[in-house]
Amino acid sequence: MTPGIVGWLALAPMGLLLLASVWTDVKEGRIPNQFVFSGLVLGILLNTALPEGQGFASSLPGGLGLWGALAGAAIGLAVMLPMYLLRAMGAGDVKLMAMVGAFLGPEDILGAALGTFLAGGVLSLGYAWKTGVLRRTLQNIRFILYSGAVKMAGGGSSSLDNAPETAGKFPYAVAIAVGTLGYLVWKSTGKVGWA
């Protein structure tokens, strides 16, 4: 189930852009739009220009076509958008996941997103512990869950207008890179049932 040389070569620019995004997110606390938009365009171009296949991370590597790349980007955007609307992550993180979707397509972006959320949870707790804000982070999580449940039970909509002070900012590009690349490695070992 390994993607082969064509698949890995097509995914290499995505990997490099993810690593560059991690570097700038850790150093500067932001993900440059030039990384995200150039990757988005490149993912769409590669999926359109290369011979047709089942995606770059499949056993039959090849492009998914224009609509496959756009669908992957849209799903990548959609899975992260709620976190942005809750102010739990920045717009750069959302756009970065859309870029990943343009390379991976609609099926593999779901696996990459799941890997990202798992990596993000573990890395965020480790980051909070290392920086000494784990207690505040856990209190904030409890507040969000409790206030959301109370408001929903009362028929209202959940909002974070009265949220407690933030415990800090975690460079989420790290989680996106670890989750995406981890998913691709895991898939290449044949442990994932997707095509």
CA trace torsion 86, 91, 97, 98 (10° rounding): 110
Question: In this predicted model, what pLDDT tens digit does every residue of 110-131 receive, in sequence order?
Answer: 999 999 999 988 887 777 777 6
Could you tell me the pTM of the whole model?
0.78
Residue 121's pLDDT is 81
Residue 167's pLDDT is 43
Helix then strand then coil, in percent of the chain rounded to 5, is: 70, 0, 25
Residue 192's pLDDT is 53
Question: In this predicted model, what pLDDT tens digit does every residue of 153-185 receive, in sequence order?
Answer: 766 555 555 554 544 577 899 999 999 999 999
Residues 6+ apart with CB under 8 A from 58: 1, 3, 7, 195
Q: Which amino acid is at 10?
A: A
Contact 171, 126 (CB under 8 A): no
DSSP-derived 3-state class of residue 52: strand
Residue ranges of the chain whose pLDDT lies below 50? 1, 164, 166-167, 193-195
DSSP-derived 3-state class of residue 111: helix
90 Ramachandran zone, left/alpha/beta (phi>0; psi -120 to 50): beta
